[in-house]
Amino acid sequence: MSKQDYMNTSVQEPPLDYSFRSIHVIQDLTSEEPRSGLRPLRHSKSGKSLTQSLWLNNNVLNDLRDFNHVVSLLLEHPENLAWIDLSFNDLTSIDPVLTTFFNLSVLYLHGNSIQRLGEVNKLAVLPRLRSLTLHGNPIEEEKGYRALVGTMSPAIALAFLPLVVTLLVRYRHYFRLLVRMVLLRSLRDCLSGLRAEERAFSYVLTHALPGDPSHILNTLDHWSSHCEYLGHMGPVKGQILTRLVEEKTPACVLELGTHFGYSTLLLARALPPGGRLLTVERDPRMAAVAEKLIRLAGFDERTVELIVSSSEEVIPRLRTQYQLSRADLALLAHRPRCYLRDLQLLEAHALLPAGATVLADHVLFPGAPRFLQYAKNCGRYRCRLHHTGLPDFPAIKDGIAQLTYAGPG
């Protein structure tokens, strides 16, 4: 294949996609599998990809050391790289290595930590650059940023139309989730004056059997699939959670993030005789729904105690105020960005005994890369990832992380 033929065909190739992989250093690309898309990637006889697009967004990269070398190992023609997505990483500057790709036309750098507006001047040597994103960086606060964006807007507009078609096709499942989870829910909230979880509880009251947690859980699954998407743990993850609790037989369980009580019922149902569950929810309105659901399922306060407060305030008081000296199993199901903070709080207050199990939901979507990086590298945990999809959206990959605590070391 001639170079001109390659240029004509490779622009239509799907991207080499390493997004949402918790990648910390560029060298990790050589050991990671790219995400699969609608069309398979084509490769040369040497095994390298023929694409001109490389997506590294939503990772934890803070520099691009060895970028040229690694890209040459992945791409048959790295010099023809035309689209690089580095959005939502931890980059503090624009690495000069990016200026060596003279065919680069699309560069996404939004959602990083770039602080100096002067960094953008480095890209002036790229003759074909027509789309550059910088929003969500500290440079937004610098004088002159708005003027710079204004000069770029025509170029970005030219790139927008073909890109939106690609994104709509590739991420159609995410757009469907956005419509169901945000747009339709917001509309119904305004019309009814109730939250989706409150509407779901009203449905449970008229369709589920009181005192039967399994029937209540099935009723919630039916509501989420056929009426309003709840964004809950769902039956597939529920089976994983139930199996792990039954295997570990924990005497004391701590749940951070009650939400409306779905996962709480799963935990309570799987507790061994005499087991105790403390669950923490910071939203009073959501906690009120959960409290009703938990009691409707037949669990009293001796078995399931609901604490309405933020996790960072509760954890230091668990031993003295709530008489929880140890958590044999902890489920993190609140905000993924808080997982690492709360795990370290549990360690600092000696609430995790050796052999304790820590489960964390949504570690791939929306993702908790810093939490996973810490758990894998600190040397105090054995880690396993249970891969699943979102309820009703199996194409959107997610997972539950299972950590086994080895002790403070």
Which of 230, 220, 238, 217 is closest to 184 using CA atoms?
230
Which of 111, 163, 110, 100 is closest to 132 using CA atoms?
110
What CATH number should be reported for the domain whose range is 3-170?
3.80.10
- Cα separation, 109 vs 91, whole angstroms: 8
- Cα separation, 56 vs 137, whole angstroms: 17
pTM score: 0.66
Residue position matching structure tokens 């080499």 = 16
Average pLDDT over residues 84-102: 93
The pair of structure tokens assigned to 163 is: 């890109």
- Cα separation, 138 vs 335, whole angstroms: 24
The separation between CA 216 and the C-alpha centre of its own chain, rounded to angstroms, equals 28
Cβ-in-10-Å burial (0-12, 13-18, 19+) of 1 comes to exposed
Average pLDDT over residues 369-389: 93
Using 50, 70 and 90 to split pLDDT, how confident is the model at 295? very high
Lowest mean pLDDT, pick from 234-243, 276-285, 388-397? 388-397
Predicted local distance difference test score (pLDDT) of residue 71: 95
- CATH 3.80.10 residue window(s) in the chain: 3-170
Average pLDDT over residues 117-127: 86
Lowest mean pLDDT, pick from 121-130, 140-149, 151-160, 387-396? 151-160
Using 50, 70 and 90 to split pLDDT, how confident is the model at 146? low
CATH 3.30.930.10 fits 232-405, yes or no: no
Task: Give yes or no for residue 317 having a pLDDT over 90.
Answer: yes
- CATH 3.40.50.150 residue window(s) in the chain: 232-405
